[in-house]
């Protein structure tokens, strides 16, 4: 399946429209060996299909992607609501006269029925791990964002 997914993505990949666009793309991957977060940013470098696939390689369902001698996986493993990629950069900008709109999608339920059996327990464990990251991030970002 992962090979089929890669083949499908390669056949429809249009890096020129992504990298040459006025819209900025910043995506996150995590190094499986070190836990270091890596940001791929179209304003700083060319973002290729391998970069995108690494940022979506949610192990064990999708294999990690090797880039420059590192094995990278979905950045959501370390930060599943990576709004800091937008907000930290915005805070650094000298000209902050525009309005910033940031959309975030929460994919993991904080509340759910009690699990029945090992498979549901495993799923619930993952949901809670990721949902708690989302709750912490939203609380931290809901503080008045000060532009200095």
Q: Give the per-residue pLDDT at 11.
A: 65
- Tens of pLDDT, residue by residue over 125-145, are 988 988 888 888 877 776 655
What is the residue-averaged pLDDT of the chain? Answer: 82
Does residue 47 carry a pLDDT above 80?
yes
Distance CA 64, CA 30 (A): 10
**pLDDT tens readout for residues 12-24:** 666 567 777 777 8
Q: Which two tokens stand for residue 128?
A: 């809670």
* Cα 81 to the center of its chain, rounded Å: 7
What pLDDT, on the 0 to 100 scale, is given for residue 15? 59
In this predicted model, which residue has the larger pLDDT, 92 or 25? 25
CA gap 38, 72 in Å, rounded:
9
Q: What is the pLDDT of residue 1?
A: 42
**Which of 90 and 118 is assigned the larger pLDDT?**
118
CA distance 32 to 21: 30
Model pTM?
0.73
Q: Which residue has the tokens 């939203």?
A: 138
Q: Which residues touch 103 (CB under 8 Å, ≥6 apart)?
A: none
Q: Which residues contact 49 (CB under 8 A, 6 or more apart)?
A: 9, 10, 13, 15
More confidently predicted of 54 and 129: 54
Cα–Cα distance measured from residue 44 to residue 32, given in angstroms and rounded to the nearest whole number: 23
């Amino acid at each position: 399946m992962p090979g089929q997914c890669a083949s499908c993505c390669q056949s429809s990949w249009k890096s020129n429209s992504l990298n040459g666009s006025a819209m900025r793309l910043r995506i996150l991957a995590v190094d499986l060996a070190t836990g270091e977060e890596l940001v791929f940013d179209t304003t700083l470098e060319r973002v290729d299909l391998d970069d995108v696939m690494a940022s979506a390689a949610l192990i064990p369902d999708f294999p990690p992607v090797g880039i420059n001698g590192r094995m990278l996986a979905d950045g959501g493993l370390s930060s599943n609501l990576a709004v800091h990629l937008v907000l930290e950069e915005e805070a650094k900008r000298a000209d902050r006269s525009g309005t910033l709109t940031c959309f975030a999608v929460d994919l993991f339920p904080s509340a759910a029925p009690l699990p029945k059996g090992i498979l549901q327990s495993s799923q619930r464990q993952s949901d809670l791990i990721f949902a708690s990251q989302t709750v912490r991030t939203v609380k931290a970002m809901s503080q008045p964002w000060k532009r200095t």
